[in-house]
A and B are shown apart, each in its own frame.
Chain A
Amino acid sequence: MKGLTVFIADLRKCRSHEDEEKRVNKELANIRTKFKEPSINGYNRKKYVCKLLYMSLLGYEVNFGHREAVELVDSSKYSEKQVGYLAVSLLMEDESEYLRAVVRALRRDMHDGSEWIVCLALNAISNIGSREMAEVLTSDIVVQLLSPAASMFIKKKAALCLLRLVRRFPEAVKAHQWVGRITPYLGHRDIGVTQSVASLMTALAQQYPEETRKAASFAVRRLKSLVIDNEYTLDYVYYKVPAPWLQIKLLRLLQYYPAPESSEARATLLSILRHIIDVSQDVPRELQQMNAQYSILFEAINLGIHLDIDQGLMQECAVLLGRFITSRETNVRYLGLETMAHLAAYIDRLDSIKAYQGVIVQSLRDRDISVRRRALDLLYSMCDVGSAKAIVSELLRHMALADVALREEMALKVAILTEKFATEYGWYVDVMMRLVSLAGDHMGDEVWHRIVQVILGNEELQVYACKISLQTLKAPVCHESAFKVSAYVLGEFGHLIANAADSAPIDQLKALQSKMSSTSQSARAVALTTVGKFINLFPEIKTLCLRVLDRYRGALDAELQQRACEYYALGTLEGDELLPTVFEEMPPFPERQSALMSRLLKREADTEDQRTWVVGGREINRERRGVMSGAASNNSQEAVEASAMPVPAASQTDAPSGSSTAAVSKADAPSATSASEPPTDPSVAKSMRNYARLLWENDGILFDGEEIQVGVMAQYKPPGGRLGVFLGNRATAPLYNISITARAADGSQLEIQPAAGQEAEQMPESLMPLAQARVFFDVQCKQVFGAAPTLHIGYTVAGCAPTVSELQLPVTVGHFMDPVTISVADFFARWKQLGDSGIAEAQHVLPSAFLTKDAAGLEWLRSVVGGMGFALIQGADPEPNNIVGVGIATTQAGRFGCLVRVEPKPAHGLTRVTLRATNAEVARSIGSNIKMVFESR
């Protein structure tokens, strides 16, 4: 294509960015006019689409040419089709109106006689992977994968294509129907096919551990043939290593299954691992070979650690890793440290790792920050009671020198280790005080909150903590966080040291005052509460305390002023009952998981494949594994965690003010939704039906009126989501002054605002008949909420007064729910546990005459429950018609597990729906959603 080459050369000649932009704009205008010509031929169309692609590569926004791309796809020429599919996958978005035409073309091309056309189609599906494709094309793809006539190229691509759809729309592909037939392909003679199928199986293994159980033995057999029997073709030898990617894939796949039960299989697996380790004893000369060799080795060690069947082998690994972490190759050092952290997370005797403690500490000074980070992870994982003091003091020493980027994490880890392994109280207090002084600027409030919690919970600590606090306040410089801890501690326990030298009440108050003026508002607020508490603890300095409070009664900051005024009023109150009650010593905090841990764990985000281990000591990984081997997924563990600690960290941000009179009780927002009232007139019933449908389907019509039609398309990524609102003009005249806004009932619970980046396509001034306008909104679920947001649509029809319609938007807490697959046993354990607590249950018995009519009613019921975001647990209930499901609702304030059980009784025309959740409002809200869906059917 000469034109394209000339265009690219032109752009390369541009000296400045402005020149380039000018040239691009000229070309865009040219292409627009060319596309309008009816006589444009395929070659030119291809050329211009290519030019558009090049501009988009350079970063220019290209938002036309979609129609031409689809026309290219429909062309019978391979070259045009190829460019067409490329353009479709690079330019088109998920909600493009042309996607339907693309799906039609794909369907045709999937059955084309030429394998290259089929490959193009498969490639396009995996690039775009829309929901419609998952629904319409999955069975065709499975056929291609299993067909004996299909070439290896097709099979490879088909497997990955399926994987893409499985990951994006697990419920649409119905994997349980075909997963069993695909498993044997792990033993396919073609290494490329096996490799793709192994990727697919890895994803399926996490979703369907039962159905894919056989995959493990296929993988072992395949590994054996590669590693021990040397059965492979020369094409797959990469720098003398046979099929390294396949080896890695299989070794990783096996980490999703427990160790094999038969001793024979175990022996085979062990001999494979041993073989891999033995081969790696010699350092390969060539760099590429070393990379490939070591990547297999690291994965083999990971598998060995996971299987946990031979401690001797693991000790050997430790020695090997010890050699790696001193390697001259930075990559090898990096991976050596990472794998050693994995080993430290499981191995029973840490001695073999501790031998390298010195080297690891040295690595904190490595010239590469990536390596330094791994060293920190490893030190954190290998720490135990014996080595805690040494490791913590090393980390503290490095704190001042460490990169700013690393300091926060370092501080968190020091805080956790110190708390976990402290054997002397003095040591704990000393280390923590030093930590907040050293790294206070780099860490969140969690750290100082946690110190206060620990001191409050341990009586033996309190006297020493008071001494240190007073010293801290008297020191010439005092860090803000250290100041807060000290002030808080003295306010609670100052009286314990009041008789010691230089620690009289007056000394304590003076020390506090001396630093107060130079601290921030939030620190001063804490100090004011301490002063208030001093009035109660030390009546002898009451006047001095009141003087301090009096000074702050005029403070500009509202919080300071309020505290000062209230405490001052309390201190000058007649009668002596209220003061001691309000300023009573704080009770110890209830035992709960440290906020530090949750913060650290939050850093481990979800990946496409579940992590098989996390950075940290043995306990936490053992716990994880306990949950995972129960055939449960990663998510179900989160469900357990979410229910175990529903207390948001916010409740502990400033404990003292809760006990002061300032406590404001926040009324719960009214939670009844207006739409849940029974319908009276037919048009209301119709719009209620529309609304109810959108409770379990993401896209659909929300309102259908004389003049306008409103559609909604939603996509949720809890706790966020994006809502597309489409306004169609059904009248015969154009609409003017259109406005579409959305409002949440309570902005602190739900945030809804126009989506970022749509300024470009502002509301049109007028909307012609049959035309459509659209607006996108971003929603963020901050916490559990009851009332749905509302949509306000304003418009004017010529000659009439402006109309404003208010519609309820189908956004409820249930929309922020993701399905979670857990095992049957887990389900019933959780079900019972939640039932026993009895706090969050919602039950409805709903008339359901439709069940008696036909069997489709049951199918519909299943799709409703599935559509609401529950993962249906198959075969859990002895009664086959019953439906049970699990979901987890994610808000910014926390995650809440929700279990559902639906028991249809066709004979009686009734259905009982029971919901149990870790939050009452979640159960109630989803319960009323289901009720509404039933009522509107």
Chain B
Amino acid sequence: MIKSVLIFNQLGKPRLVKFYEPLSTAAQQALIRTIHALVSKRPDFLCNFLSTQHHSVSANHHAPDHTHSYTLDPDTRIIYRHYATLYFVFLVDSSESELGILDLIQVFVEALDRVFENVCELDLIFHFDEIHYVLAEIVEAGLVVETNLKDISSAVAEAKRLVKPVQESSRLGIGALRRGFT
């Protein structure tokens, strides 16, 4: 099962935080910091998988008062992809296929790309709620619900139509996300 979907930038600023299991905000943030520290120092030629077993990925790591102790299951794996300025990270247990999740991240990015037409980090910032809606068409309750780009984008477009046209936000154009691996 997919336990969490995270997007953060190279500095570790969260852009999407979605947990499929309940977790306090403080623990979530601590976890993001730890994962960012682990992932951001890995050069791109290394593999896209990390097991958490020995990295002591625990959220109380950075909370000195140990009030939010939360340790990841030793079975949890970090599967991530690095696109331009952003890291897309999925936390999954061992019942998911690693390459399958890697493909799923690609689908997620391509779906965002369709919805925002050449997506960039600013889109994710100013439309943080829409990212959730897009994700909900791909992953639900920690499982893949749809992988077909046409269905995903038509569902998102339909929902957008119901919301009524939203005003177009100014596009400042910080380098568009590159497709594929970087």
Q: A and B bound?
A: yes
Chain A interfacial positions (CB closer than 8 Å to B): 1-2, 5, 8, 12, 50, 53-54, 56-62, 78-79, 82-83, 86, 90, 93-94, 116, 119, 123, 126-127, 129, 152-153, 156-157, 160-161, 163-164, 167, 191-192, 195-196, 199, 235-236, 238, 243-245, 248-249, 252, 287-288, 291-292, 294-295, 298-299, 330-331, 333-335, 367-368, 370-371, 373, 403, 405-406, 409, 603-611, 756-757, 759
Determine the chain B residues whose CB is within 8 A of the CB of A603 once the complex forms: 53, 74
Closest CB-CB distance, A864 to chain B, in whole Å? 28
Cα–Cα, bound, A157→B137 (Å): 9
Q: Which residue of A lies closest to B18 (CB)?
A: A90
Q: Can you add 11 more A-B contacts, CB < 8 Å, to A235-B149, A288-B180, A294-B99?
A: A2-B167, A12-B125, A83-B129, A161-B141, A244-B100, A245-B100, A288-B106, A292-B99, A331-B47, A367-B46, A370-B46
Q: Which residue of A lies closest to B149 (CB)?
A: A235
Q: Which of B13, B51, B69, B97 has the most CB of A within 10 A?
A: B97
A-B contact pairs, 23 of them (CB 8 A): A57-B17, A57-B128, A83-B129, A86-B132, A129-B141, A156-B145, A156-B146, A157-B145, A192-B146, A235-B150, A245-B103, A287-B180, A287-B181, A292-B103, A331-B47, A331-B49, A370-B46, A370-B51, A373-B53, A603-B53, A607-B1, A607-B75, A757-B68
Contact call B133/A245, Cβ cutoff below 8 A: no
Contact call A295/B151, Cβ cutoff below 8 A: no
Q: Name B148-170 residues within 8 Å CB distance of A.
A: 148-151, 155, 158-159, 162-164, 166-167, 169
Closest CB-CB distance, B136 to chain A, in whole Å? 5
User: Is B114 in contact with chain A by the CB < 8 A criterion?
Assistant: no
Q: Which residue of A lies closest to B74 (CB)?
A: A605
Determine the chain B residues whose CB is within 8 A of the CB of A406 once the complex forms: 54
Cα–Cα, bound, A331→B101 (Å): 12
- Given contacts A288-B106, A608-B93, whether A192 and B99 have CB atoms under 8 Å apart is no
User: Is B147 in contact with chain A by the CB < 8 A criterion?
Assistant: yes
Closest CB-CB distance, A667 to chain B, in whole Å? 34
Closest CB-CB distance, A414 to chain B, in whole Å? 17
Closest CB-CB distance, A785 to chain B, in whole Å? 23
User: Is B118 in contact with chain A by the CB < 8 A criterion?
Assistant: no
Q: Name B44-70 residues within 8 Å CB distance of A.
A: 45-51, 53-55, 66-69
- Of B98, B104, B125, B159, which is within 8 A of A335 by CB? B98
Determine the chain B residues whose CB is within 8 A of the CB of A199 once the complex forms: 143-144
Cα–Cα, bound, A129→B99 (Å): 28
Q: Name B121-146 residues within 8 Å CB distance of A.
A: 125-126, 128-129, 132-133, 136, 140-146
Cα–Cα, bound, A607→B104 (Å): 20
Cα–Cα, bound, A299→B45 (Å): 24
Contact call B67/A235, Cβ cutoff below 8 A: no
Cα–Cα, bound, A292→B105 (Å): 12
Closest CB-CB distance, B20 to chain A, in whole Å? 8
Determine the chain A residues whose CB is within 8 A of the CB of B125 once the complex forms: 8, 12
Q: Which residue of B lies closest to A49 (CB)?
A: B129
- Of B25, B73, B93, B99, which is within 8 A of A295 by CB? B99
- Given contacts A94-B22, A288-B103, whether A330 and B181 have CB atoms under 8 Å apart is no
Cα–Cα, bound, A610→B22 (Å): 21
Contact call B146/A127, Cβ cutoff below 8 A: no
Contact call A248/B97, Cβ cutoff below 8 A: yes
- Given contacts A126-B140, A236-B147, whether A611 and B94 have CB atoms under 8 Å apart is yes
User: Is B84 in contact with chain A by the CB < 8 A criterion?
Assistant: no
Determine the chain B residues whose CB is within 8 A of the CB of A291 once the complex forms: 99, 102-103
Determine the chain A residues whose CB is within 8 A of the CB of B67 once the complex forms: 756-757, 759
Closest CB-CB distance, A130 to chain B, in whole Å? 10
Determine the chain B residues whose CB is within 8 A of the CB of A160 once the complex forms: 140-141, 143, 145
- Given contacts A235-B150, A756-B68, whether A196 and B74 have CB atoms under 8 Å apart is no
Determine the chain A residues whose CB is within 8 A of the CB of B46 once the complex forms: 330, 367-368, 370
Cα–Cα, bound, A2→B162 (Å): 19
Q: Which residue of B lies closest to A56 (CB)?
A: B25
Contact call B126/A5, Cβ cutoff below 8 A: yes
Determine the chain B residues whose CB is within 8 A of the CB of A331 once the complex forms: 47-49, 98-99, 102
Q: Which residue of A lies closest to B45 (CB)?
A: A330
Contact call A163/B129, Cβ cutoff below 8 A: no
Contact call A295/B49, Cβ cutoff below 8 A: no
Tell me if A's interface is mostly helix, strand, loop or mixed: helix
Determine the chain B residues whose CB is within 8 A of the CB of A126 once the complex forms: 140-141
Contact call B129/A86, Cβ cutoff below 8 A: yes
- Given contacts A57-B17, A127-B141, A129-B141, whether A335 and B99 have CB atoms under 8 Å apart is yes
Determine the chain A residues whose CB is within 8 A of the CB of B10 once the complex forms: none
Contact call B148/A192, Cβ cutoff below 8 A: yes
Cα–Cα, bound, A605→B75 (Å): 6
Determine the chain B residues whose CB is within 8 A of the CB of A611 once the complex forms: 94-95
- Given contacts A58-B14, A86-B129, A330-B47, whether A238 and B103 have CB atoms under 8 Å apart is yes
Cα–Cα, bound, A78→B166 (Å): 13
Closest CB-CB distance, B39 to chain A, in whole Å? 12
Determine the chain A residues whose CB is within 8 A of the CB of B93 once the complex forms: 607-609
Contact call B47/A57, Cβ cutoff below 8 A: no
Contact call B147/A245, Cβ cutoff below 8 A: yes
Cα–Cα, bound, A876→B155 (Å): 47
Cα–Cα, bound, A611→B96 (Å): 11
Contact call A370/B47, Cβ cutoff below 8 A: yes
Q: Which residue of A lies closest to B163 (CB)?
A: A79
Cα–Cα, bound, A235→B180 (Å): 20
- Of A50, A61, A79, A367, which is within 8 A of B164 by CB? A79
- Of B20, B95, B102, which is within 8 A of A609 by CB? B95
Q: Which residue of B lies closest to A247 (CB)?
A: B100
Contact call B147/A164, Cβ cutoff below 8 A: no
Determine the chain B residues whose CB is within 8 A of the CB of A58 once the complex forms: 13-14
Q: Which 4 A-B pairs have the closest CB atoms?
A: A295-B99, A609-B95, A164-B141, A126-B141
Q: Which residue of B lies closest to A92 (CB)?
A: B22
Closest CB-CB distance, A584 to chain B, in whole Å? 42
Q: Which of B93, B145, B164, B180 has the most CB of A within 10 A?
A: B145
Cα–Cα, bound, A295→B37 (Å): 28
Q: Which residue of B lies closest to A125 (CB)?
A: B141
Contact call B163/A405, Cβ cutoff below 8 A: no
Cα–Cα, bound, A334→B129 (Å): 36
Determine the chain B residues whose CB is within 8 A of the CB of A61 once the complex forms: 25-26
Determine the chain A residues whose CB is within 8 A of the CB of B95 once the complex forms: 252, 607-611
Closest CB-CB distance, A255 to chain B, in whole Å? 10
- Given contacts A8-B125, A57-B14, A287-B180, whether A157 and B25 have CB atoms under 8 Å apart is no
Determine the chain B residues whose CB is within 8 A of the CB of A235 once the complex forms: 148-151
Contact call A196/B159, Cβ cutoff below 8 A: no
Closest CB-CB distance, A254 to chain B, in whole Å? 14
Q: Which residue of A lies closest to B167 (CB)?
A: A2
Q: Which of B47, B50, B151 has the most CB of A within 10 A?
A: B47
Contact call A59/B162, Cβ cutoff below 8 A: no
Contact call A164/B142, Cβ cutoff below 8 A: yes
Cα–Cα, bound, A152→B148 (Å): 13
Closest CB-CB distance, A339 to chain B, in whole Å? 11
- Of A192, A371, A373, which is within 8 A of B145 by CB? A192
User: Is B9 in contact with chain A by the CB < 8 A criterion?
Assistant: no
Contact call B180/A59, Cβ cutoff below 8 A: no
Contact call B24/A59, Cβ cutoff below 8 A: no
Determine the chain B residues whose CB is within 8 A of the CB of A244 once the complex forms: 100, 103
Contact call B104/A245, Cβ cutoff below 8 A: yes
Contact call A405/B55, Cβ cutoff below 8 A: yes
- Of A57, A295, A405, which is within 8 A of B103 by CB? A295
User: Is B4 in contact with chain A by the CB < 8 A criterion?
Assistant: no
Cα–Cα, bound, A291→B106 (Å): 11
Determine the chain A residues whose CB is within 8 A of the CB of B164 once the complex forms: 79
Cα–Cα, bound, A245→B13 (Å): 31
Contact call B143/A79, Cβ cutoff below 8 A: no
- Given contacts A5-B126, A405-B55, A608-B95, whether A191 and B148 have CB atoms under 8 Å apart is yes
Q: Which residue of A lies closest to B160 (CB)?
A: A79
User: Is B29 in contact with chain A by the CB < 8 A criterion?
Assistant: yes
Determine the chain A residues whose CB is within 8 A of the CB of B159 once the complex forms: 78, 82, 116
Q: Contact flags (1/0) for B79-96 with A, using CB distance below 8 Å?
A: 000000000000001110
